[in-house]
Amino acid sequence: MENLQVTVESGKLQGVHGWDPRVAVFRGIPYAAPPIGELRWRTPLPAVPWEGVRKADQYGPIACQPVPGSNPEEFWTREIHPTGMEFEMSEDCLYLNVYTTARTGEEKLPVLIYIHGGGFKGGYPYEVEFDWEHMAKKGIVVVSIAYRLGVLGFLAHPWLSAEAPEDPKGNYGTLDQLAALKWVKRNIAAFGGDPDQITIAGQSAGAMSVQNLMTSPMAERLIDGAIIESSITAAFAEKEDRSHPLEKAEKVGVLFFEKAGIRSLEEARKLPGEELVRLEDAILGQGIHFEPAIDGILIRESNFEAYKKNHHHRIPVLAGYNRGEAESFAKAFTRPVETMAAFREYAAGFSDKAEEFMSLCGVKNDAEVKALFSGNAMLDLAAGLRMFGYIQDSQDRKAYLYEFNADIPGEDHAGSYHGSEMWFAYDSLARCWRPFTGRHYDLARQVSSYWANFVKTGDPNGKDTIGEELPEWKSFTAENEFVMEFTDKPEESKVKADALMKFRIGYTLGREIHES
């Protein structure tokens, strides 16, 4: 914007120049009223209007959470939380940030809304791996949002359900995301954005949030595309119920209140948000945590069931995973299978198809079982991604699928770890401590261009930022089974669905997948 001033529904905003003066940045824009006091654990209300011109030069407070980077031994402290960085943290956290190169509000640039990850417990919208100014220079308007986390964002409890029986329950953080999406739809034109070309993107828990929104009836006609990084496969990990129904979520809430000695909602709402987060950490630990619940209103069913039943929005999707996630994926979603006895028990889960499954596996002893299942997590990732591709194709929706397997430098030999694709997708290698070289920067230019092209058109193909034609990325179909693999360069994945993988996909989907 030429004068860095815009008018939105709540008042006037004064932005600032980014590091590159061609980019206008508006930080800390309230998109909803502060969810404090009696508004804790309620649907967010509209932002409070202000008088005069509000300075939009500082980020809003991050959501209440364990202090990012407080453990110097943790992998993520070094990776994405710069040493010595200070955070303003508050329950009053419903703010978003806008990055734009539009010179006037008359332009209609495509819009990217990014939802950060962090296990629904941590994270914030300006982490070091996001270079939103750089992405904005690719001809899109970028919006990054904060939302309530942990106990403040995803507590479910029978008392809360009784208090507001008609409202969504246990999904306050998701309601925040929905409120931000609606705010963008109503206001982004003031920043030169196109309200009819909005793509939502996220990684990990942010990607799960994207899926919750793209399968929610409450987000109908608000989304034009979705980017899902490292989450789509979790919905298809195994053919068993891994959903989080409201009843289960409420039991976690009851347990939390009991152990915290909280005897009423009035008492709970008087406790400082920071104290509730401390209690959450102390009481629930790593085994139980707060996450979005299937409440039948905002989230009607598991993402897996929504995909199968065609209960998701008719939009193009770009989705994938990182090869290095296989080990953590195995711990989170699969059971160890190392003996023939365990193998037979595992096969029994395929009921009347158990014999067919065992025949396709072809294992005869414990050693062969262990060898087969040592790579099982990798196959689960590959199968889950392709399963989503089959669903999208059968419902005449575009799916651009990827496997990220780039060489990540560093003395820790981290591999293509969970989240490593973000340095490339959002063109932020220069902000990372790792010794990236020219080939990494070439790949980042290509990957971030695919992402930006998808935001612009719903198709990642086209040219990169220096005008070179990108290698063709075909949408997945049952005939071509195309998955893009990012190594030193973009190329078609060599992992193909064999008879065993197609059996597993077909069994889970309830239909036969034929050899191509």
Using an 8 Å Cβ cutoff, are 418 and 230 in contact? yes
Side by side, the strands of the sheet bearing 53-55 are 5-8, 11-14, 53-55
Q: Give residue 87's pLDDT band: very low, low, confident or very high (50, 70, 90).
A: confident
- For the chain, list the domains and their CATH numbers: 5-315 (3.40.50.1820)
The Cα 94–Cα 177 span in angstroms is 9
Q: Give residue 236's pLDDT band: very low, low, confident or very high (50, 70, 90).
A: low
- Residue 30: name the closest of 12, 10, 16 by CA: 10
Least confident of 144-153, 319-328, 412-421: 319-328
Residue by residue, DSSP assigns 342-380 as: HHHHHHHTTGGGHHHHHHHH---SHHHHHHHHHTHHHHH
Give strand ranges (E) for 95-192.
95-100, 109-115, 141-145
Write the CA distances from 224 to 119, 179, 200, 457, integer angstroms.
25, 16, 8, 10
pLDDT in tens, 311-354: 999 999 999 999 888 665 555 555 678 899 999 998 898 889 99
pLDDT in tens, 470-503: 999 999 999 999 999 999 999 999 877 788 888 8
- As a whole number, mean pLDDT of residues 33-62 equals 98
Structure tokens at 61: 């407070």
Fill in the amino acid letter for 161. S
Q: Give residue 515's pLDDT band: very low, low, confident or very high (50, 70, 90).
A: low
Which residues, 6+ apart, have CB-to-CB distance to 333 below 8 Å?
234, 237, 238, 242, 377, 380
Give strand ranges (E) for 121-163.
141-145
